[in-house]
Amino acid sequence: MKQVAALELRSVDLQSSRNNKAHHTQEMGLRRLIVRRGQPFTLQLHFNRPFHCGTDHITFVAETGPAPTKLSGTRATFGLTQARQGNAWSASDFTIDSNSLFVSLFTPASAVIGPYTLKIDISQGQGYSMTHPVGTFILLFNPWSAEDDVYLPSEILLREYIMMDYGFVHKGHEQFITSWPWNYGQFEEDIIDICFEILNKSLYFLENPSKDYSQRNDVVYICRVVSAMINSNDDNGVLQGNWGEDYSRGVSPLEWNGSVAILRQWSARGGQPVKYGQCWVFAAVMCTVMRCLGVPTRVVSNFRSAHNVDGNLTIDTYYDRNAEMLSTQKRDKVWNFHVWNECWMIRKDLPPGFNGWQVLDPTPQQTSSGLFCCGPASVKAIREGEIHLPYDTPFVYAEVNADEVIWLFGDGQAQEILAHNTSSIGKKISTKLVGSDQRQDITSSYKYPEGSPEERSVFMKASRKMLGSRRASSPFLDLLGSEGFRDQPALLRLHLTRTPEWGQDLLLTLHAKRVPHRAHPRGPLRLEVRFCAQALLHKGGTRQPLWRQIVHLNLDFGEEIQWPLLLPYNNYRNKLTDEKLIRVSGIAEVEGTGRSILVLKDISLEPPHLSIEVSERAEVGKPLRVHITLTNTRTVALSHCTMVLEGSGLIHGQVSNDLGTLVAGHTIQIQLDLYPFKAGPRQLQVLISSNEVKEIKGYKDVFVAAARPS
């Protein structure tokens, strides 16, 4: 009987193009195999002779990590079978065509994510066995698979929270919310490799590589690792935070257009933290990493966000009699806004009912299990006050629900409560609206309507859990849950008379109205109102006063007075931070009563506006004409202007130009051609920065048509 030649592997076709399209990874490129767990993919193995089912035995071996073992889930061996074997590694549904074997490989929806090597062992009978390398592939989470913990059953939401590679970060102030364009760029070809590089530089990996890899099947674990690695407080994380004003050793957080440049710089410099980031930069970069790994993710902004370190659910702020906001040694602050992430997942570690969106916050604020990371905290748990559920739920609950207490301070002590605000924290919680450039308000997913019985009930439940035995020992806590604790004889409001633009005088009006009440005398009310303006810092503090004024008012019973106020440009010129925020505060002393009334107004100064126009049709490989126009409508020149353009699928990396000085009243026009290299919806981000104004931003949505056949 003629002996059959030993089966030998001659070549392999990983069918990357076909598989990547089926697994929604084609945007990452078609040259290498990138697949999602819980979904089959096909290979073609070409041998020296036809494969014989009865006598040829093939065993597949898939391995990931530094020391793969079956026990840790980083090594899988599986033979060739006719039908798939449930939710387990399998090779099945094979067909034989001459010397080729077409086979479908299936990875379980609970498999470890990461780069894998694939081999086959070929044996005939009991003896001869030979191992052949097949190739490598990258395995990602699969939100399209109902078996995966990140399953999101909506194609529209998947298009937004996985496939969309640009978006917006909402910044500014609750009354002046601005939408900042951001290039996530999660499908740029090297970003997937940088994402796994991030995991491999984490303290968990460095401490115990095998254990770390064995837990990479768990989305909760991956989220916590990434949350810790985006900041550099414990490790060689991606970004170094800087909330000062000196960015001379790096890039101002305001001058980033997207995540790609940050991630590439971090990788190219061997994991040295990139300088500098603040909350929106940390969150936007984490969004890039999580979407790239296959976890539905969005960026969320919380306006007037409490940073409640001592866990007492109140933030104390102090003013003196001249209406100056005082600095304090306490770390508790109300941030103008704070930005974090939400990731979508099933929480098998929690009781039923807490799946869905989970808060992850990569900004280093406080430690969690010894590292600077935060979350995942269930948004539903935050809404219901179930703050005992992991992870870091009390901290996030306080960010959106803490009470604000404003004190009048004098003679070395707090003298009077000026305001106790139960609804001033956690305002206009915002994210990008699905399929739109608009902002979506998602405050109602975090809390019941302010002042409603449900909201106060949840607050009392959470405060009992957070404060425990401390609650009984603090008389001030009797204020918690109480509605306004006293009536004021007059109502004061500050309004802007016109749009506040940087470089121009600011016009305000004080509205003072006598409040009719039987507890107040009916005669004229004499008020001395002391005003103070200070630069407002992002983390809630202020700089030294830049403007003061005193106003005397006589209010008759039922009377309303409007008093104009002028804050000249020269007073705030060179006194503001790059974010151009001013707090105007006033304290009115009511003559003969010893009582004080507080009035506050935060002002966000608008920068000059950019105009961006593009030619009507955009097509892959064809020039796309871009016109950018900036008019300096202010009274002062903008010096050392630089322009940076970015946009995944439109530009490889960035395009930078020095523009020189833009004189007051003059216009600068830039014209250039781009050559789009990816079809579909794209976004061009433009940043013009100067010494005087750091963030003049604009964007243009562009739909790029596929290249026409030649």
Which of 94-103, 132-141, 326-335 is least confident? Answer: 326-335
Question: What is the number of H-type helices and E-type strands within the chain?
Answer: 13, 37
pLDDT digits 0-9 by tens, 616-655: 899 999 999 999 999 998 888 999 999 999 999 999 999 9
- Helices 191-199 and 260-268 pack at an angle, to 10 degrees, of 60
**Are 430 and 492 within one domain?**
no
- Which of 307, 338, 420, 538 does the annotation list as catalytic? 338
Catalytic residue among 56, 316, 361, 602: 361
Measured distance CA(41)–CA(145) in Å, rounded: 14
**Annotated binding-site positions:** 401, 403, 450, 455
**How much is the pLDDT for 518?**
59
* 570 located within any domain: yes
Contacts of 322 (CB under 8 A, 6+ apart): 530, 532, 545, 548, 587
Question: Quick one: how far is CA 284 from the chain centroid?
Answer: 4
Q: Which stretch of 351-360, 481-490, 657-666 has the lowest confidence by average pLDDT?
A: 481-490
Is position 1 within any domain? no
In a domain? residue 14: yes
Average pLDDT of span 581-601: 93
Of 140, 167, 199, which residue is a domain's last? Answer: 140
Specify if 148 maps to a domain. Answer: no
**pLDDT higher than threshold 60 for residue 474:** no
Shared domain for 313 and 454, answered yes or no, is yes
CA dist 705 → 22, 30, 169, 679 (Å): 21, 19, 27, 5
Report pLDDT for 485: 43
583 in the same domain as 508: yes
DSSP state of 368: B
Local confidence band at 517 (pLDDT 50, 70, 90 cut-offs): low
The verdict on 282 and 427 lying in the same domain is yes
- Residue 472's pLDDT is 38
C-alpha 184, offset from chain centre? 10
CATH of the domain at 698: 2.60.40.10
Residues 535 and 628 in one domain: no
Instruction: Quote the pLDDT of residue 212.
Output: 98
**Position 586 in a domain:** yes
**pLDDT tens-digit map of 252-281:** 999 999 999 999 999 999 999 999 999 999
One domain for residues 636 and 571: no
Task: List all residues 6 or more positions away from 59 whose beta carbon is below 8 Å from its beta carbon.
Answer: 77, 78, 79, 120, 121, 123
Reported as a single tens digit per residue, the pLDDT across 598-608 is 999 999 999 99
What CATH number is attached to the domain comprising 386?
3.90.260.10
Asked if residue 56 and residue 128 are part of one domain, the reply reads yes
- Whether the per-residue pLDDT at 609 is higher than 70: the answer is yes
343 and 216, same domain (yes or no): yes
- CA dist 633 and 635 (Å) reads 7
Residue 56 pLDDT: 92
Domain boundary among 106, 140, 174: 140
Give the residue numbers of the binding site for Ca(2+).
401, 403, 450, 455
652 belongs to a structural domain: yes
Q: 622-655: string of b/e by CB count within 10 Å (b at 16+)?
A: bebebebebebebeebbeebebbbbbbbbbeebb
What pLDDT does 309 receive?
82
* pLDDT score at 633: 87
**Same domain (yes/no): 171, 278:** yes
pTM: 0.95
Mean pLDDT of the chain: 93
Which element (helix H / strand E) includes 691? none
Residue 279: active-site member: yes
Does residue 566 lie within any of the structural domains?
yes
Lowest-confidence range among 281-285, 444-448, 692-696? 692-696
Assigned token pair, 485: 């604790």
Question: Of 429, 460, 478, which one is at a domain's C-terminal end?
Answer: 478
Into how many domains does the chain fold? 4
**pLDDT (average), residues 191-207:** 97
Q: Is the pLDDT at 535 greater than 50, yes or no?
A: yes
Say yes or no: 227 and 316 in one domain: yes
Give yes or no: residues 470 and 422 share one domain.
yes
Selecting among 279, 287, 292, 373, the annotated active-site residue is 279
In terms of pLDDT, which residue wins out, 659 or 129?
Answer: 659
Q: Residue 481 has what pLDDT? A: 42
Between 485 and 20, residue with greater pLDDT: 20
479 — pLDDT class (breaks 50, 70, 90): very low
At residue 483 the predicted structure's pLDDT band, cuts being 50, 70 and 90, is: very low
**Cα four-point dihedral sign 493, 497, 503, 504:** negative
Contact (CB, 8 A) for 400 and 444:
no
Read off the pLDDT band of 233 (50, 70, 90).
Answer: confident
Which structure tokens are listed for 557? 């019973």
615, 575 Cβ separation under 8 angstroms: no
Is 338 catalytic? The answer is: yes
Range of the structural domain that residue 88 is part of: 9-140
Same domain, 319 and 450: yes
Tokens in use for 72?
A: 């840790």
Predicted pLDDT at 480: 44
Q: Is residue 517 part of a domain?
A: yes
